Amino acid sequence: MLSFLDRERTVAPRGYNRWLIPPAALAVHLSIGEVYAFSVFKTPLVEHFGTKLTPIGIIFSIAIVMLGLSAAFGGRWVERAGPRKAMALAALCWATGFVVGALGVATKQLWLVYLGYGVIGGIGLGIGYISPVSTLIKWFPDRPGMATGLAIMGFGGGALIASPLTEQLLSAFAAEPQDAIVPTFLTLAAIYFVAMMAGAFTVRVPADDWKPEGWTPPQRSKSSLISAGNVTATNAIKTPQFWMLWTVLFCNVTAGIGILEQAAPMIQDFFSSVNAAAAAGFVGVLSLCNMCGRFVWSSTSDVVGRKRIYMMYLGIGATLYFLLATMGTASIALFVLFTGIILSFYGGGFATVPAYLKDLFGTLEVGAIHGRLLTAWSAAGVAGPLIVNGLADIQEANGQDGAGLYTLSLFIMVGVLVVGFIANLMIRPVNERFHEPERRVEERRAAEEQRFTRDGDRARARPAPTTTTRSEP
Amino acid sequence: MSDMATDGRHDGHHGAAGTKGAALTAMILWIVVALGLAYGLFNTVKTATDLFTG
């Protein structure tokens, strides 16, 4: 029964349309993207546990840290096990996280919520996040940025769906939101489990020798960043390119997450006329920009190149932060425009990075390398809010108020983005000594092929004549 | 440029039925995903109007 989840059972048959793959990835990413809407639960949880915001905020922090760790340590397993098994595991962890979290809420044991939503759910986040990425890159070698942008867009868009849905569930199950957390958690667990398992059922990997008809890999010049070889995850972290890209992602996420996390109070501090409902609308607009940036900018990177698009994210991003610090109070429309563009670059940075990795390190273990790179997200998830919140507290203690609370942190973000810009400029093609010998890559693929034939035959009990037929590349 | 896969290793009778099922699920998923995003977008636009109308 469980052999259904094996990688060998997911190889696409002849005639399978590659446009049937993105909804599988979107189903997973839209589900786990719920984590960005966790703030909806904050006040009900504070009321329910009779505690302060900080212990409740830890739930989200644990989930994000676990996302980075599980992506880093589970990346290689995801590559080996294939997307279906990984998506099914992610579905199980994500739904179990909600169920254990609900148990914690029902028994008023906050540590169970940490364990459930934070640890178990966080593992589901990490595995779910990376599971469709390398599969999509293999299906769309001609448009890797667009393909990963489409999937990762779901992670940004998850909050757009989860936020109103959660609010409606909380008000439907009980008169007071704090009394409706348990059934809401359980309902979300069921919805997301079904959606993610539908994605797992649908996903297919292309055969090793498959490529879009009529497509030939681009010719590479010596200065091109696009690698002709493949690098393993173990070797990738020994290259300066990996750590430069780690720095780029860290800087881009630190700058974006600082605004995202503090968006509602920030706009109210900048403009005293903005009420709570309008601030919530602002958060929604930022989520939309975050989501659209993932698809639009990542697709654009297929045309203009990865290095250039990151120069735009980081260079224009730094300029916009400077403008926010100096003239952010001029008008609400200008403030929304600047922060919206910054958030679209934040999302674009996430979505473009798998294609950047594919260019630098090849497709052999791109999922595992991506997983390791996501530790930059975990680090930035701590650094960004720490800079913005910490400096706002210090400024307040010094007698500042309104927009003045953020001026220093906005200037620091300019510096952070300049550091990222320089790191991106320093990225050069990976030295060939890190490339796996072609012979070893072929041997590895042949071994996988052999394993496929053996396990596939065993799974079906009776081999069909077409099972070993290979089409022309 | 074709969007079709060109490998036939799972084209047995059971594989063909499974593939049809997966393709149908994928098409339903496209619709579910589009509806979900439309729901999210509608609610976002509804709240975002407060930002500019006060």
Structural contact between residues A181 and A43, judged by C-beta atoms closer than 8 angstroms:
no
A201/A195 Cα distance (integer angstroms): 10
A384/A255 Cα distance (integer angstroms): 6
Q: Spell out which residues of chain B touch residue A469, defining contact as CB-CB under 8 Å.
A: 8-9
The pLDDT of A132-142, averaged and rounded, is 87
Structural contact between residues A471 and B8, judged by C-beta atoms closer than 8 angstroms:
yes
Least confident of A138-152, A255-269, A351-365: A255-269
pLDDT at site A172: 94
Q: Using N-to-C axis directions, what is the helix angle for A181-202 and A144-173, rounded to 10°? A: 150
Q: How many CA atoms lie within 13 A of A193 on its CB side?
A: 14
pLDDT at site A463: 38
Nearest to A164 among B4, B8, B40 (CB): B40
DSSP conformation letters of A178-243? GGSHHHHHHHHHHHHHHHHHHHHHH--B--TT---TT--PPP--TT-SS-SS---HHHHTTSHHHH
- B38 in contact with A at a CB cutoff of 8 Å? no
B31/B48 Cα distance (integer angstroms): 25
Q: Average pLDDT, whole number, for chain A?
A: 86
A403: left (phi over 0), alpha (psi -120 to 50) or beta: alpha
Minimum CA–CA partner of A208 in chain B? B7
Condensed to tens digits (0 to 9), the pLDDT of residues B23-51 reads 888 899 999 999 999 999 998 888 888 77
A204/A200 Cα distance (integer angstroms): 9
The angle formed by the CA atoms of residues A312, A215 and A358, to the nearest 5 degrees, is 45
Condensed to tens digits (0 to 9), the pLDDT of residues A284-323 reads 888 889 999 999 999 999 999 999 999 999 999 999 999 9
pLDDT at residue A403 greater than cutoff 60 = yes
Single pTM value for the model: 0.81
Q: Spell out which residues of chain B touch residue A143, defining contact as CB-CB under 8 Å.
A: none
Mutate to test the interface with B, among A4, A161, A472 (most CBs of B within 10 A): A161
A387/A240 Cα distance (integer angstroms): 27
Count other C-beta atoms under 10 Å from residue A295's C-beta.
Answer: 24
pLDDT at site A296: 95
Condensed to tens digits (0 to 9), the pLDDT of residues A316-375 reads 999 999 999 998 888 888 999 999 999 999 999 999 999 999 999 988 888 889 999 999
Residue A23, C-beta contacts closer than 8 angstroms, at least 6 positions apart: A199, A202, B26, B29, B30, B32, B33
The pLDDT of B9-16, averaged and rounded, is 50
Q: Provide φ and ψ at A191, rounded to 5°.
A: -60, -50
Is ipTM > 0.90 here? no
Query: Helix or strand or coil: residue A387?
Result: helix
Residues in chain B: 54
pLDDT at residue A119 greater than cutoff 90 = yes
Structural contact between residues A97 and A117, judged by C-beta atoms closer than 8 angstroms:
yes
A424/A261 Cα distance (integer angstroms): 25
pLDDT at site A389: 76
Sign of the dihedral defined by the CA atoms of residues A49, A51, A57, A62, in that order:
negative
B3/A54 Cα distance (integer angstroms): 50
Q: Spell out which residues of chain A touch residue B20, defining contact as CB-CB under 8 Å.
A: none
Question: For chain A, how many helices (H) and strands (E)?
Answer: 18, 0
- B17 in contact with A at a CB cutoff of 8 Å? no
Q: Spell out which residues of chain A touch residue B17, defining contact as CB-CB under 8 Å.
A: none
Condensed to tens digits (0 to 9), the pLDDT of residues A150-203 reads 888 888 888 889 988 998 999 999 988 889 999 999 999 999 999 999 999 889
A366/A229 Cα distance (integer angstroms): 12
Cβ-defined contact of A20 to B44 (cutoff 8 Å):
no
pLDDT at residue A31 greater than cutoff 50 = yes
